[in-house]
């Protein structure tokens, strides 16, 4: 009977240890998330930055379309040359 009690105690201790490890992991993740979160009041500055990034993105999209069209034209010309 004492052996069963010892086994039960070991299982309980193992479960408790796993629970503590999970708790510690969760705390570390919460701390990391809190550090990664922008500080209060940063949303006003971020809004301007987001607008600027959107403008840059739109300009890059236009440039991409222009380059893509020129490349398509050049590829078409090369195909024509190679086929003749």
Same domain, 10 and 25: yes
Residue 2 has pLDDT above 80, yes or no: no
- Has this prediction a pTM greater than 0.75? no
Q: What is the pLDDT of residue 42?
A: 59
> In the structure, what pLDDT confidence band is assigned to residue 1 with cuts at 50, 70 and 90?
low
pLDDT score at 40: 67
User: 73 and 48, same structural domain?
Assistant: yes
Total structural domains within the chain: 2
Residue 60's domain comprises 42-84
Residues 8-64: pLDDT tens digits?
Answer: 777 788 888 899 999 999 999 999 998 887 666 656 667 788 889 999 999 999 999
What distance in Å separates the CA atoms of residue 38 and residue 20, rounded to the nearest whole number?
29
What are the DSSP calls for the chain, one per residue?
-HHHHHHHHHHHHHHHHHHHHHHHHHHHHHHHHHHHSPPTTHHHHHHHHHHHHHHHHHHHHHHHHHHHHHHHHHHHHHHHHHH-
Do residue 59 and residue 80 come from a single domain?
Answer: yes
Q: What is the pLDDT of residue 39?
A: 67
* Whether residue 31 is found in the same domain as residue 46: no
Same domain, 33 and 70: no
Are 46 and 38 within 8 A, CB to CB? yes
């Amino acid at each position: 009977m004492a052996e069963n009690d010892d086994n039960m105690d070991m299982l309980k201790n193992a479960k408790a240890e796993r629970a503590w490890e999970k708790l510690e992991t969760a705390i570390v993740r919460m701390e990391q998330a809190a550090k990664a979160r922008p500080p209060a009041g940063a949303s006003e500055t971020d809004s301007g930055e987001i607008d600027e990034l959107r403008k840059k993105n739109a300009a890059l999209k236009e440039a991409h379309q222009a380059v893509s069209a020129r490349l398509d034209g050049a590829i078409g010309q090369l195909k024509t040359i190679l086929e003749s």
